Structure 1
Amino acid sequence: MYKTVRYTVSSVILLLLLPLIVWFSQWKWEFKDSAFLIRFFYFITETVNTPCSILISILLSIYIVRCLQLCFKSAFLLIIIMNSIIITGQLTKHFIKEQIKEPRPYMIWLSKIHNFDKRIFHHLRRDEVTNIVSIMLSQDTQIPRWLKNYWIQESSFSFPSGHSIFVTTWSLLATILLWPRRYIKTVVFLFLWADAVMASRLFLGMHWSWDLIFAILLSWLLIIAFTCIKIVSSFFLIKNYEQDF
Structure 2
Amino acid sequence: MFDIARRTAFGAVLLLLMPAAVWLSGWLWTPGGNPSILLPLYWVTETVSQPWGILTTVILCGWFLWCLRFRLKAAIGLVLMISVALLVGQSAKTYIKGEVREPRPYVAWLGTDHQMNVEEFYGLKRKARSQQVRDVLGDNAQIPHWLNKSWQNDTGYAFPSGHTMFAATWALLGIGLLWRRKHYKTVTFLMVWAVVVMGSRLMLGMHWPRDLMASVGISWILVTLACWLTERYIGPLTPPPAENQEIAQRDGE
- Whichever residue aligns with residue 108 of structure 1, its letter is A
Alignment-derived partner of residue 15 in structure 1:
15
Which residue of the partner structure matches residue 223 of structure 1? 223
Q: Name 1:172's counterpart in structure 2.
A: 172
Shift of 1:163: 0.5
Residues 173 and 227 of structure 2 are in contact (CA less than 8 Å); yes or no, is this contact kept in structure 1? no
- Higher mean C-alpha displacement, 178-187 vs 142-151: 142-151
CA-CA distance at 1:204 after TM superposition: 0.3
User: Contact 1:165–1:215 at 8 Å: present in 2 too?
Assistant: yes
State yes or no: 1:30 paired with 2:18: no
Indicate conservation of the 8 Å contact 2:12/2:216, yes or no.
Answer: yes
Supply the distance in 2 between the matched residues of 1:224 and 1:208 (Cα, whole angstroms): 25
Cα distance in 2, alignment partners of residues 213 and 20 from structure 1: 7
Partner residue in 1 for 2:79 = 79
Q: How far has the Cα of 1:146 moved from its partner?
A: 2.2
Q: How many residues align?
A: 235
CA contact (8 A) 1:100 1:122 kept: no
TM-score with structure 1 setting the length: 0.89
Letter of the 1:92 partner, please give it. A
C-alpha displacement of 1:162 = 0.5
Aligned to 1:137: 137
User: Residue type of the partner of 2:98?
Assistant: E
Are residue 40 (structure 1) and residue 35 (structure 2) matched? Answer: no
Task: Find the counterpart in structure 2 of residue 242 from structure 1.
Answer: none
Matched position secondary structure for 1:140: coil
Q: CA deviation at 1:179?
A: 0.2
Q: Is the 8 A contact 2:198 2:212 kept in 1?
A: yes
**Is 80-89 or 138-147 further displaced after alignment?**
138-147
Question: Mean alpha-carbon deviation: is it higher for 94-103 or for 204-213?
Answer: 94-103
- TM-aligned CA deviation for residue 123 of structure 1: 4.9
Instruction: Tell me how far 1:133 sits from its aligned partner.
Output: 2.2
Partner of 2:112: 112
Match of 1:243 in 2: none
Whole-Å separation in 2 of the counterparts to 1:207 and 1:28: 10
Aligned-residue identity in percent: 37
5+ residue gaps, structure 2, are 236-253
- Which letter does structure 1 place at the counterpart of 2:203? F
Per the alignment, residue 249 of structure 2 pairs with: none
- Which string of whole-angstrom CA distances, capped at 9 and with x for unpartnered residues, describes residues 128-151 of structure 1? 533432321126343222221111
Distance 2:61 2:127 in 1: 35
Partner in structure 2 of residue 97 of structure 1: 97
Residue aligned with 1:143, SS:
coil
Tell me if 1:210 matches 2:210. Answer: yes
Deviation at 1:207, TM superposition (A): 0.4
Q: Distance in 2 between matches of 1:178 and 1:145?
A: 40
- Mapped to 1, the partners of 2:148 and 2:66 lie a distance apart of 41
Aligned equivalents of 1:75, 1:221: Cα separation in 2:
22
How well do the aligned residues superpose, as a CA RMSD in angstroms? 1.8
What SS does structure 1 have at the residue aligned with 2:234?
helix
C-alpha displacement of 1:125: 4.9
Which one-letter code corresponds to 1:203 in the other structure?
M
Aligned to 2:151: 151
Task: Report if aligned partners of 2:176, 2:224 keep a CA contact under 8 Å in 1.
Answer: no
Query: Can you list the C-alpha shifts for 1:49-95, whole angstroms capped at 9, x where unaligned?
Result: 12221111111111112211111100111011111111111121112
Q: Is the 8 A contact 2:8 2:224 kept in 1?
A: no
In terms of mean alpha carbon deviation, does 103-112 or 214-223 score higher?
Answer: 103-112
Aligned equivalent of 2:56: 56
Which residue does 1:240 correspond to in 2? none
On the 8 A contact 1:19/1:210 being kept in 2, the answer is yes
Contact 2:78 2:234 (8 Å CA) reproduced: no
Counterpart residue identity of residue 224, structure 2: I
Residues 197-206 or 29-38, more deviating: 29-38
Q: Secondary structure at the match of 1:158?
A: coil
